[in-house]
Amino acid sequence: MVNKFLVPAGFKDSLNFDASIEHKYKNRIINYFRDNGFTLIKTPLIEFSKNLDRNTLTLKKNKKNDQLSIRNDITPQIIRIASSRLANKIRPLKLCYYGEVVRKMGTILRPERQFQQVGAEIIGSESYKADVEIINLAYETLKKIGVKNIVIEITAPFFLESLFKKITNKDLKNKLKKYIKLKDINNCLKLLKKNELYDSFKTLHLCSGSIQNKKKYISKLSKIIGYENEVERLVKIANLIKTSKYDSLNVDFFDLQTNKNYYKGIKFTFFAKDVRGEIAGGGRYNLKYGSNSETAIGYTCYMDTILRSSSLTNQNKKILIAFNTSNKIKQQLIKKGYSLFKTFEDNIDIKKEAKKFGIKYYLINNIVKKI
């Protein structure tokens, strides 16, 4: 028999600090995108299963026998909206969103199955400035919520994909992919000895690192691999991303897409020092509907990871006040950043009462006192 207090594996009750700080950070991110002209939209929690990918939690079929699932990613919903209800709206569309997503399975490294996803998309603009806008806004939001020592990594999966297309030997291709996944350049190059693609793979690897140190290799990239326009575009984007001296911009073209392999142009990922895994990311992808298709660039982050990455501490100043405190005083306290906790008891020692509730501040004779 299941203990009635248990919740299913991967789910949790988020109490106190976590819930309030998640709410605050989510608002900061969304408001920053809204301040920059992005329209906030809200999408349903349940979708027809055929609209979603794997790892969705499937529900019972409805009366019409349609299979329904709880969304595990909001981006496909944005794609559905952009290609249907908003298909005739003038481009570029700038949308932002937030909401809970649920996964069927967790992993060892990420057992959580419910997260709050926050993101933004620019749909219908091919301009490199759209890429720059999304990356810069995303970077600013992370800074606003106290993420320190940020590394922005730009990758362009199409370089590696184009090289793999030239390899006909399936066994060689699989072995190369395995070594690239492990970042094992020595074994990669051993496999490619006497192969015409040796220099191409080597150059791609040499391009990995801080953009400042790698510009000379990147400039050679188009001579060896081609994609002159794409390389030029990439350099333009990189030049317009401004990071603080504590943060950095890296490139890594020697990286295989492991998940979300729908990215068709550049892909970007945010890491932070001493924080496990990636903290946020996004990239350019194609929307296809009917005979139409258009390009989009999106950014997404999950609030549980953001909470782990933030260096901000709980600054919520709760204060115990008498129930009959005047509205004017209450407004002043709220303005000063206090969160008011009104006692329902009369004739009590307010200091003792504050201690009882573990509240740091109390108001006595209209003066704020700290315990």
Contacts with 315 (C-beta within 8 Å, 6 or more apart), sequence order: 337
* Least distance CB 247 / other proteins (angstroms): 10
Neighbour-count burial of 368, counting CB atoms closer than 10 A to its CB (0-12 exposed, 13-18 middle, 19+ buried): middle
Beta 317-321 vs 263-272: how paired, if at all? unpaired
List C-alpha distances in Å: 323 to 71, 180, 264, 347, 362.
44, 65, 59, 11, 12
Q: In whole angstroms, how close is the CB of 273 to other proteins at the nearest point?
A: 5
> Which residue has tokens 């906030």?
40
Size of the site for other proteins (CB under 8 A): 26
Q: Minimum distance from CB of 141 to other proteins (Å)?
A: 19
The pair phi, psi for residue 119, each rounded to 5°, is: -165, 180
**Quick one: which segment of 17-25, 28-36, 96-104, 208-216 binds other proteins (CB under 8 A)?**
208-216
Residue numbers 238-297 binding other proteins by CB under 8 A: 250, 252, 258, 269, 271-278
Contact 256, 157 (CB under 8 A): yes
> Which of 187, 195 has the CB closer to other proteins?
187
Residues facing residue 116 across a β-bridge: 100
**CB-based contacts of 12, cutoff 8 Å, min separation 6:** 112, 114
Going residue by residue from 166 to 205, which x/- string records binding to other proteins, judged by CB under 8 A?
A: ----------------xxxxxx------------------
| Minimum distance of other proteins from residue 117's CB (angstroms) | 19
CB of 210 to other proteins, least distance (A): 7
Q: How far apart are CB 262 and other proteins at their closest, in Å?
A: 18
In the bound complex, what is the minimum distance in angstroms from residue 148's beta carbon to other proteins?
11
Q: What angle do CA 245, 251, 252 make, to 5 degrees?
A: 140
Q: Which listed residue (6, 7, 15, 108) binds other proteins by CB under 8 A? A: 108
Q: How far is the CB of 367 from other proteins (least distance, A)?
A: 45
Minimum Å distance from CB 24 to other proteins?
25
210 part of the interface to other proteins, by CB under 8 A: yes
What is the per-residue binding string for other proteins in 317-336, x denoting contact by CB under 8 A?
A: --------------------
What is the C-alpha radius of gyration for the chain, rounded to an integer number of angstroms? Answer: 25
Cβ proximity to other proteins: between 262 and 341 the closer is 262
Nearer to other proteins, 160 or 321 (CB): 160
Which one among 88, 109, 365, 367 touches other proteins, defined by CB under 8 A?
109
Backbone angles phi, psi at 145, to 5 degrees: -105, 20
Rounded to an integer, what distance in angstroms lies between the CA atom of residue 183 and that of residue 189? Answer: 11
x/- map, 145-164, other proteins, by CB under 8 A: ----x-x-x-----------
Nearer to other proteins, 149 or 325 (CB): 149
**CB neighbour list of residue 128: distance below 8 Å, 6 or more residues apart:** 233, 236, 237
Q: What φ, ψ does residue 150 adopt, rounded to 5°?
A: -80, 140
Report the site for other proteins in 16-35 (rule: CB under 8 A): none
Q: Alpha-carbon distance 265 to 227, whole Å?
A: 12
CA distances from 211 to 82, 218, 231, 242 (A): 34, 9, 13, 12
The residue among 132 and 275 lying less far from other proteins, judged by its C-beta, is 275
| Residue choice 209, 222, 262, 329 for contact with other proteins (CB under 8 A) | 209
Q: At what angle do helices 228-240 and 128-144 cross, to 10 degrees?
A: 30
Can you give the binding site for other proteins, defined by CB under 8 A? Answer: 108-109, 149, 151, 153, 182-187, 208-210, 250, 252, 258, 269, 271-278
